[in-house]
Amino acid sequence: MKKAFITGIGGQDGSYLSEYLLELGYEVHGIIRRNSIPEHQSTRIDFNVKNLNVYYGDLLDISSLEKLLKKIQPDEIYNLAAQSHVRISFDIPQFTTQVNALGTMNILEAYRNACPEAKYYQASSSEMFGLSVDSDGFQRETTRFMPTSPYGCAKVFAFNITRNYRLAYNLHAVNGILFNHESPRRGSNFVTSKVVKEAVRIKKGLSKILELGNMDSFRDWGHSKDYVRAMHLIINHSVPDDFVVATGQTHSVREMTEYVFSKLNLDYKDFVVQNPIYLRPEELPYLRGDSSKLKSTFDWKPQYDFYALMNEMIDFWMGIL
């Protein structure tokens, strides 16, 4: 039985990845942070907790990582933990950098010392591309990084240090460069969840208005379930390498909002207002990923398109609100 160790197991991707690996027959281990309200910590994995091995640990506490990796001796390590909110990274830039950059260094060091035979996956991000777009309108593995946020800058460090450890110490350490991916489990302060949740509340008479920031940025949105399958393929490639994961389609926040409201027979223009608090000091205006390298190397294609993703999120929030 293969063993996996997941940081960020309680997050959107960590929860789906843990389910996927259990289905494949893995023994799954992971860490969650201490929280003053423990009930809030593991809502995405509570239903599955009997099948998982969950410990307290923190990317900022290298002793917790080393101790667990020495004991567990995993075959695969997935470093998904992060302060993952881009706008909030402008409010807490040092914390974001500590966790996303130095935290990655911590787990790489723990991995190198405790279980160097394991394979390692780093959750890299399309936010690293920032303002950079190839002339054909896509971003791919060869596109230069020009990040526009403390989050993106920290992720560039994490990408580079992962590659550096791979080459310097002959480790099987890989990067998945994932474009935006969502699901019913997406945190409700990311734009897709926020729009769907609030549109459903408006539909049900629970709210009257939706406040957003910049509606003219474009994102390449996929489904987290599709993307955790890609993580598992990438980490298990015979040669450690870096891959973009994306749908290749892009939509503006405005188009996404219009679609969600129209599915609920509402006109978004009647309800959406701009609130500058949701604008970013520097915006990333356009993302569209080319995952040809992934598709030509593995048998991967997304099962969800943009509309299936948004429809699933709408059905989910209609069901629980």
Rounded to a whole number of angstroms, the minimum distance from the CB of residue 80 to ligand NAP is 4
Rounded to a whole number of angstroms, the minimum distance from the CB of residue 289 to ligand F7E is 10
Question: How far apart, in whole angstroms, are the C-alpha atoms of residue 302 and residue 321?
Answer: 28
Q: Which two tokens mark 235?
A: 């980490």
The pattern of x and - marking residues 182 through 221 that bind ligand F7E according to CB under 6 A reads -------xxx--x-----------------xxxx-x-x--
Residues 172/241, Cβ–Cβ less than 8 Å = no
Q: How far from the centroid of its chain's Cα atoms is residue 239's Cα?
A: 23
Residues 261/52, Cβ–Cβ less than 8 Å = no
Which secondary-structure segment (H or E) carries 42? none
Minimal CA–CA distance to 84: which of 151, 175, 17? 151
| Catalytic annotation present for 89 | no
Q: Which two tokens mark 96?
A: 């974001």
Under the criterion CB under 6 A, does residue 230 sit at the interface with ligand F7E? no
Under the criterion CB under 6 A, does residue 130 sit at the interface with ligand NAP? no
Give the type of residue at 78.
Answer: Y
HSE toward the beta carbon, residue 33, CA cutoff 13 A? 14
Which secondary-structure segment (H or E) carries 272? strand 272-274
116 or 213, CB closer to ligand F7E?
A: 213
Partner from ligand NAP, ligand F7E, none binding residue 187, C-beta < 5-8 Å depending on class: ligand NAP
Task: Give the binding range for ligand NAP (CB under 6 A) out of 19-27, 76-84, 128-136, 299-307.
Answer: 76-84
Which secondary-structure segment (H or E) carries 210? strand 210-212
* Close Cβ partners of 149 (under 8 Å, ≥ 6 residues apart): 86, 87, 89, 90, 127, 130, 280, 282, 284
| Catalytic annotation present for 125 | yes
Task: Give the binding range for ligand F7E (CB under 6 A) out of 20-28, 68-76, 121-129, 307-315.
Answer: 121-129
Rounded to a whole number of angstroms, the minimum distance from the CB of residue 128 to ligand F7E is 8
Catalytic residue among 125, 183, 224, 291: 125
Give, as ranges, the residues between 2 and 61 that touch ligand F7E (CB under 6 A): none
Under the criterion CB under 6 A, does residue 81 sit at the interface with ligand NAP? yes
Q: Which of 178, 200, 212, 272 binds ligand NAP (CB under 6 A)?
A: 178
Residues 244/177, Cβ–Cβ less than 8 Å = yes
Rounded to a whole number of angstroms, the minimum distance from the CB of residue 54 to ligand NAP is 11
For binding to ligand NAP (CB under 6 A), which residues are involved? 7-8, 10-14, 31, 33, 35, 58-60, 80-84, 99, 103, 123, 125, 178, 180-181, 187
Give the residues lining the site for ligand F7E (CB under 6 A).
Answer: 84, 86-87, 125-127, 179-180, 189-191, 194, 212-215, 217, 219, 253, 278, 280, 283
